[in-house]
Chains A and B, each alone.
Chain A
Amino acid sequence: MAPLIRLEGLTKRFGETVAADDVTLDILEGELFGLLGASGSGKTTLLRLLGGFETPTAGRVLIDGVDVTALPPYERPTNMVFQSYALFPHMTVAANIAFGLKQARMPKPEADARVEEVMELVKLAELGKRKPSELSGGQRQRVALARALVLRPKVLLLDEPLSALDKKLREHTQFELMRLQRELGITFVIVTHDQDEAMAMCSRIAVMDMGKVIETGTPRAIYERPQCRFVADFIGGANIIDAEPVGPSRVRLPALGVECAVTDSLPAKGWVALRPERISLSHEAPAGGPWPAGQVEAVAFHGDFQLYRVRMDGGVELRVAASNVPGDPKPGERAFLSWPADAPVALSR
């Protein structure tokens, strides 16, 4: 299947800064695609290049096989939910939603029906006569969503759609967005800095840093098999430990003084990524050792788990996320670390 969106060597420079650096990316029809990165990573620039709000310095944007690089926003089959929502303050909710239909000169009865339908869809019925200033944050977000969806775009662009909502509403809205995407079958491209959000919602994620797409994949693939240190660290904050190959799928960890199995063979010196929640902590040395040991430096209670900081005998500090640890190690006490054979992920870059 040909991709719905294709970015080819897309580059955007603002003076000295390169906000998008030679990005090549395919997004398939019906995906809920996430652009994930820290602030300044270029994810919003990429979204704005897709929407037509920025002109690329180099490269092309194709949507449904059509080169839209030179097209202004009003001629693109995309619609955007802005981070600030950008609702028109002088118009009612219904007029906001009908804005695009009126612009397209749709006959009023038909437009009214469409507006009503989409307000039903995002659960805004009864609020049509209000002004944006009379709405809650969650309601405003739904108006912004309805205003874009009513035009039935090929692609819906969402710029940090949940960032202005409080935590409880955020989770609810996540599910709402996923439901809408499934029901409408519209391709969503969503920008977020929140990796949990991206993991929870997206069918695929592109992790961005310094204007480049570092890695693309399903949330599971990116989480379980990151390809590089940046992604391993950015997603879920894995422990990154120096490693040197000692055989097929086996490495030595000099800093910990142990050998262990890894997912892939390392061709040369590299690293392993070890997720905090895959490490077990115990007072007694577990079987199958030797296992590294260290001194617990701090314990932070997170509700469903505790986060331990352990200073290993070799000097490095590792993070361990565990619940119900036998013996409940306290700061200052010694503990052994162990992990299942498939936990360490080999990283060569």
Chain B
Amino acid sequence: MSAATARRRGVLALPWIWLGLFVAAPFVIVLAISLSSAGYGSPPIDFFIGWQNGHPTFNINLDSFELLASDQLYIRGFLNSIAIAGLTTLLCLLVGYPMAYVMARAPARLQPLLVMLVILPFWTSSLIRVYAWIGILKENGLLNGLLLHLGLISQPLVILNTPIAVQIGMVYAYLPFLVLPLYATLQKLDWTLLEAAADLGAKPWSAFFRVTLPLSWPGTLAGALLVFVPASGEYLIPELLGSSTLPMISTVLWTEFFGNRDWPMASLIAVMLLLVLAIPLLFLRGGQATAGRV
């Protein structure tokens, strides 16, 4: 093996080492904890593999699995999280697609500025930005003040600590993750294709559905996943804006971990969340690989 080949393999190995150390190993640990029993030590678990009298002992505990399957709380939490993440993705698409489209068609000298404006909120901590929404949405907050002042409402609206507030906060927080990849795709689109579509008799909407939308599909999908996946596990926004009015899987996980000190249950929820998100993703990737071979 020549030095160059060795170096190349070394470089190729780097991402695998990274994945192994920071993804696979923690996952295995979490998985192992989920199979163990809750204990009173620190950490509060009795690990399922032990060592006694020179022999390994196995004490696999599946109580958490039973509880997860039987207690409605967990299933409802999963369903709520998926529903909120799905709605967030949909709303982000409805708001973000036009945004990305306008950005991509803006004069070239304006585009860096527009991208900058989309990224700008990241320069403030997300915690502070979510707190700011409390100030906007609360009963005597900015939004109600404005609506009352304009005479559009006579009673302040109760938005904060409702699912609507959670939804607003989620769409706000995740919008850039959809806009940026979509913008990158649309920006590479050859606009002559739209002229060609118009030339062949397609009105603007028709050209959009037959040309722009199919060609921007990879960016749309990437953006939607970047919203959906982290939104499913979002903890901060439902906690701060929804005040846990609606049990989400992330808040359930938090309670199990810090409140009940039931690490096996918390770990099991984490593993299940990962599986629920990863399995559809693998299918999507397979589909995309097929679609990419054109």
Contacts and interface: CB of A to CB of B under 8 A. Distances in A.
Interface string A58-100: 0000000000000011100011101010111110000000011
Contacts of A103: 200-202, 206
A53 interface: yes
A80 B199 CA distance: 7
B200 to A, nearest CB: 4
A133 interface: yes
Interface residues of A, number: 25
B102 interface: no
Contact of B199 (A74, A84, A90, A131): A74
A158 B195 CA distance: 14
B201 A100 contact: yes
B193 interface: yes
A84 B190 contact: yes
B281 interface: no
A201 B106 CA distance: 40
Interface string B169-208: 0000000000000000000001011011111111100100
A72 B201 CA distance: 9
Contacts of A133: 294
A87 B215 CA distance: 12
A154 interface: no
Nearest to B201: A103
Given A84-B190, A103-B206, A131-B294, A79 B200 contact: yes
Is chain B's interface secondary structure helix, strand, loop, or mixed overall?
helix
B19 to A, nearest CB: 33
B43 interface: no
Nearest to A95: B210
A90 B214 contact: yes
Contacts of A78: 199
B168 interface: no
B47 to A, nearest CB: 53
A104 interface: yes
B206 A90 contact: no
Interface residues of B, number: 18
A86 B190 contact: yes
Contact of A51 (B190, B199, B206, B214): B199
B215 A86 contact: no
A147 interface: yes
A104 to B, nearest CB: 6
Interface string B198-234: 1111110010001100110000000000000000000
Contacts of B192: 82, 84, 86
Contact of A99 (B195, B200, B215, B294): B200
Contacts of A99: 197, 200, 202, 210
A74 B211 CA distance: 15
A151 interface: yes
Contacts of A79: 199-200
Contacts of A147: 196, 200
Interface string B226-265: 0000000000000000000000000000000000000000
Specify which of A53, A72, A99, A133 lies most central, judged by the most chain B CB atoms within 10 Å of its CB.
Answer: A99
B188 to A, nearest CB: 11
B294 A86 contact: no
Given A89-B215, A103-B206, A133-B294, A74 B201 contact: yes
B294 to A, nearest CB: 5
Contacts of B201: 74, 100, 103-104, 151
Given A99-B210, A133-B294, A86 B198 contact: no
B202 A86 contact: no
B195 A53 contact: yes
Contact of A86 (B196, B206, B210): B196
Interface in B41-84: none
Specify which of B192, B196, B203, B215 lies most central, judged by the most chain A CB atoms within 10 Å of its CB.
Answer: B196
A157 to B, nearest CB: 9
Contact of A80 (B193, B196, B211, B294): B196
A73 B195 contact: yes
A116 to B, nearest CB: 18
Contacts of A80: 195-196, 199
A129 to B, nearest CB: 12
Nearest to B191: A86
A73 B214 contact: no
Interface in A1-58: 51-53
Contacts of B294: 89-90, 131, 133
A186 to B, nearest CB: 15
Interface string A155-189: 00000000000000000000000000000000000
The 10 closest A-B pairs by CB, nearest first: A100-B200, A86-B196, A103-B201, A73-B198, A86-B192, A73-B199, A80-B199, A74-B201, A90-B214, A74-B198
Given A86-B196, A88-B197, 7 more contacts: A74-B203, A82-B195, A84-B190, A103-B202, A104-B201, A133-B294, A147-B196
15 contacts: A53-B198, A53-B199, A74-B198, A74-B203, A78-B199, A79-B199, A84-B190, A86-B192, A88-B211, A89-B215, A89-B294, A90-B214, A103-B202, A131-B294, A147-B196
Interface of B: 190, 192-193, 195-203, 206, 210-211, 214-215, 294
